[in-house]
Amino acid sequence: MTATARDPRLDALRGFALAGILLVNIQSFLSGASNPMGYLPAAAGWADRAAYFVTAAFVVGKFMPLFGMLFGAGFALLYDKLAAASDEPRAAYRRRLLFLLVFGLLHGGLLYFGDITHTYAIAGFMLLRYVGHDAANLGRATARWWLAAVVWTLVLSMLAEVTPGPTAGVAGDDWTAELTESVAFNAAASVALGYAAQWPLRFEMFLWQAQANLLGLPMVIALMLTGMLAERAGWLRDPAAPAWDNARRIGLAIGLPCGLVYGAWSLINSEVTDNLMMPGAMMLLQTASLTLSFAYAVMILRHAPSWLVGVLAPAGRMPLTNYLLQSLAMGLLLTGWGLALGDALSYWQLSALALAIFTVQVLLSRWWLARRAQGPLEALWRAWTAGSGRRAPPPQ
């Protein structure tokens, strides 16, 4: 493989992450739920409960980390290309991050409150501090950020134990009742109202989510640096590197049991009133379960058959376009400015719809890339990144 050739395994992993992200996002798209995978009504059947457990144990919090690590790896790959194509690679990459930040703010404010790309853009500016680091120094910086992320998560979990809720003057049961009513109201309004009428409500959801995302910045930066280290240390080019064995062990020894315990707790407490009062210990387990994403990365990068790589890679080659299309599809199918199917579909049916949407995206991505080198948003992103530089960077 040449230095400028794309690695289809990375594209396949990115496509895999897109599918997992949609499985979670579709469950809270209408409600603005504080739990991204949503909740179950008391009358939910076995299929809904099975889908809820699978989502809690194996999906929620496992696919955004993949995107974070891929972002860091992509930074390491792209920066060298920018250095060869631009007189000012740092300025070019800042332009790239500015594009992503503006996209994220517009996407979150106008379409889907749960946007994560603006947070990635903010975290991405930190990567420029480490662009000149060799693998050893980058490894030490990554370890420090992981330590900071773990300590910060412990602080948040302790605060969750002693703080009844975010609304000043509203304690315990009153706060739970207020937030429970808010979730139900958000979902009902999103289905019943047209775009203009529901926009102020959904913009308020985005403002809340953007603040919550900032609390996760240390973890996002740690994940990005992990991906950057994987590229700088040569692990991505060598599937047999011992680092992949360590990643699998961590994912299966820590992420899998933590995910299973969190999944069981979530299923037992799947109604909105119970789920809102998540103990700090469960918050820690849910966070620790993100290490299962390490095992997922090994599964795709090391062991995925060529046919699966071929299926997933086209979607992963145009991630920003597909991320936007997922939100458009959810809006058109679920909300009052579309077909308003949100009230009619149960939890497992929403999961099935997410997989159907992603299947269509795979087919559309393959069709588009047979005719173009990049997705439409990716091409625009590349052109903006090039800016006033004398040469545009190769497609990324």
**Do residues 58 and 259 lie in contact, with contact meaning Cβ atoms separated by under 8 Å?**
yes
Report the pLDDT value the prediction gives residue 5, as an integer from 0 to 100. Answer: 66
Question: Residue 265: what residue type?
Answer: W
Report the pLDDT value the prediction gives residue 161, as an integer from 0 to 100. Answer: 65
Backbone dihedral region of 345: left (phi > 0), alpha (psi from -120 to 50 degrees) or beta?
beta
Report the pLDDT value the prediction gives residue 174, as an integer from 0 to 100. Answer: 61
Report the pLDDT value the prediction gives residue 166, as an integer from 0 to 100. Answer: 43
**DSSP label at residue 300:** I
Report field, pTM of the whole predicted structure over 0.85: yes
Report the pLDDT value the prediction gives residue 168, as an integer from 0 to 100. Answer: 39
Report the pLDDT value the prediction gives residue 59, as an integer from 0 to 100. Answer: 97
Report the pLDDT value the prediction gives residue 253, as an integer from 0 to 100. Answer: 97
**Do residues 320 and 18 lie in contact, with contact meaning Cβ atoms separated by under 8 Å?**
no
Count CA atoms within 13 Å of residue 238 on its CB side. 11
Give the span between the Cα atoms of 65 and 54, in whole angstroms.
Answer: 18
Q: What is the mean pLDDT of each run of 10 residues along the chain (396 residues)?
A: 68 97 95 84 94 97 94 90 82 93 97 95 94 92 96 86 49 60 86 94 92 93 96 90 95 97 94 79 91 96 95 97 98 96 95 98 98 95 74 51
Contacts of 296 (CB under 8 A, 6+ apart): 13, 16, 62, 63, 66, 251
Report the pLDDT value the prediction gives residue 395, as an integer from 0 to 100. Answer: 54
